[in-house]
Amino acid sequence: MYLPSDSRYNTMKYRRCGCSGLLLPEISLGFWHNFGGVDSLENSRAMVWRAFDSGITHFDLANNYGPPPGSAEETIGYILQHDLYPYRDEIIISSKAGYYMRPGPYGDGGSRKYLIASLDQSLRSMGLEYVDIFYHHRPDRETPLEETMGALDAIVRSGRALYVGISNYPPELTRKAQQVLKQMGTPCIIHQPSYSMFHRWIEDDLLAVLREEGIGCIVFSPLAQGLLTDRYLNGIPADSRAGKPHGWLRPKDITKEKMKKVCRLNELAKERGQKLAQMALLWVLRHKEVTSALIGASRLSQIEDAVNALQATPFTDEELKKIDNILADK
């Protein structure tokens, strides 16, 4: 029987999610890759145990995570049932719907029909009565925003979710979505955008909108799908994301130009006494608007490294300038 560490809350840092009462760990564990039906259940269990032992209380999923789609929710359902159910009140489970999940007219988008039916299926897969956070996964320009936000409001009022969020929404649509939800009495508490040293779009306007609207931010792909690590400094390992047929990082994405920057960033990380992945995580967390950084993992050491990154010395202005210069290839 799994028994969590008594010291699991001793070192993890937690941040308030926007203007809500919810606290999230600075590092959250995502089930996008390496927790599906093609992966080892025992390895998945070991990683979730290690994460929870380290104070990572938030596990992030979506209806289509796998592969195959839906299998990641089945994995967490098994782990909750067999290992973590006694600690459900200490755990934040989030899920999403909005990308393609199943064939037919009700398996994609932002309709009330799709969102509620999808969440019901997710709850069955995970063996849960509710999720803590439910997101609309991406904008649907063909469905009225009021219908999509109305579905999120109905989901909270029905007890299927405690909070709602949005993901991949651009700044102005984020503002409009929040205004609609506030009028309904169910504010959006969190936005989940992609953000890394190689994808800095949220710095232009989105962070300001989140700050003004009182919305938290949990960033995904802070390591650029593993590119901002030391994994690809000497080629593409067979067991890496780029080496797997179902991964989103493809060999064509690992260009000479990017690897030149990765090598320079790696040297700077060494000067700071960190691994590159640790420096990249600390870099996205430097914004006060960012509540949590969402990591993926295939090995226990990756979770340990991510948690240890939080103990590092904050960046100096000179170090941040060096990073900017490297990314600008100066």
**Residue that has been written with the tokens 């990765």 in this structure:** 262
Placement of tokens 């260009």 in the chain: 255
205 pLDDT exceeds 90?
yes
First to last CA, the chain: 54
- Spatial distance between the Cα atoms of 180 and 192, rounded to a whole number of angstroms: 18
- pLDDT tens for residues 115-144? 999 999 999 999 999 999 999 999 999 999
Cβ-contact 215, 188 below 8 angstroms: yes
What integer best gives the mean pLDDT of the chain? 94
**Domain locations along the chain:** 14-226+278-314
For 296, the token pair is 């993926």
d(CA 138, CA 166): 7
Max Cα separation, the chain?
54
Q: How far is CA 54 from CA 48, 263, 302, in A?
A: 10, 30, 12
Q: How far apart are CA 159 and CA 162, in angstroms?
A: 7
Question: pLDDT tens across 67-110, in order?
Answer: 999 999 999 999 999 999 999 999 999 999 999 999 999 999 99
Please list, residue by residue across 163-189, b when 16 or more beta carbons sit within 10 angstroms of its beta carbon and e when fewer do: bbbbbbbebeebbebbebbeeeebbbb
State the pLDDT confidence band at 330, using cuts at 50, 70 and 90. confident
pLDDT at 252: 73
At the second CATH level, the architecture of 14-226+278-314 is Alpha-Beta Barrel (3.20)
Say if strands 216-220 and 292-295 run parallel, antiparallel, or are unpaired.
Answer: parallel
Q: What is the pLDDT of residues 256-286, one digit of tens each?
A: 889 999 999 999 999 999 999 999 999 999 9
pLDDT of residue 233: 80
User: What is the structure's pLDDT at 305?
Assistant: 97
When pLDDT is cut at 50, 70 and 90, the band that residue 243 belongs to is: very low
Dist. CA 309–CA 267, nearest whole Å: 16
pLDDT tens-digit readout, 173-183: 999 999 999 99
pLDDT score of 231 more than 90: no
